[in-house]
Amino acid sequence: MAKTTVPPADQLTARLAGGMDELTLPYDVRLLEKLIHFLCLLDRWNRIYNLTSVRGIEQMVGAHLLDSLAALTYVQGSRVIDVGTGGGLPGVPLALACPEKHFVLLDSNAKKTRFVQQAVIELALDNITVVHGRVEAFQGKKPFDTVMTRAFSTLSDTLVQTAHLIAPGGRLLAWKGRFPVEELKCLSQSQGHSTQHCTIISLRVPGIEAERHLVCWSPPVRSPV
């Protein structure tokens, strides 16, 4: 079996910085260092625990770090939950970029939450709480301003499973590939949900040629009785 060659950290950092420049996102040297540190941890654990289907740390810069950070400006409020975080995506990159916000990273897969907890310890992230459990059973101390999902489920199923987590005036952010035509059709037919509360944002992610879209759904404002 051929030995995997890992590019130098400065090469990965330059690629990441160039991508963040394209996204017009602010950063400093410390943030870049921590993001690359996280990526190296993910790459190392991935070889044993199969945390992500993306192989090759160079591809992970775009496919994971920049794809997560591309939605940074749409993350609102101080309380954020990443449902089905997997290997800590998009939660860890966004938590690194937003130290003033508190993030809950939730997943039902124990090996994945063990990795995320280890990453939180090694990166000294005090704005992340890692939870091993199912979203249907999870109850936070109070609802969240932003609920995020990436590679989790269909829009209609996601809304059913996460509705109890979204605060009044909050939003759901769901990462998608191609424009989710069929999912939006199903959503419009599901009880209590409507596409009029959805905004579909086209994301241009440096290093990714495939289409990327972000669904932003806000619960309807209910009139007082």
- pLDDT for 1: 38
Tokens read off for 51? 């945390």
Whether 200 is in a domain gets the answer yes
Picking from 139, 133, 83, 136, the residue whose alpha carbon sits closest to that of residue 109 is 133
Average pLDDT, the chain: 91
Domain coverage including residue 193: 9-217
Whether 223 is in a domain gets the answer no
CA distance 27 to 223: 41
Split into its structural domains, the chain has a count of 1
Predicted model pTM:
0.92
Tokens read off for 90? 């998009």
Q: Is the pLDDT of residue 94 over 70?
A: yes
Whether 225 is in a domain gets the answer no
Scanning the structure block, which residue is given the tokens 């495939």? 210
Whether 1 is in a domain gets the answer no
Give pLDDT tens digits for 124-135: 999 999 999 999
Whether 3 is in a domain gets the answer no
Q: Taking a C-beta distance cutoff of 8 angstroms, is the pair 129, 102 a contact?
A: yes
Whether 4 is in a domain gets the answer no
For position 109, which CATH number holds?
Answer: 3.40.50.150
Give pLDDT tens digits for 144-161: 999 999 988 899 999 999
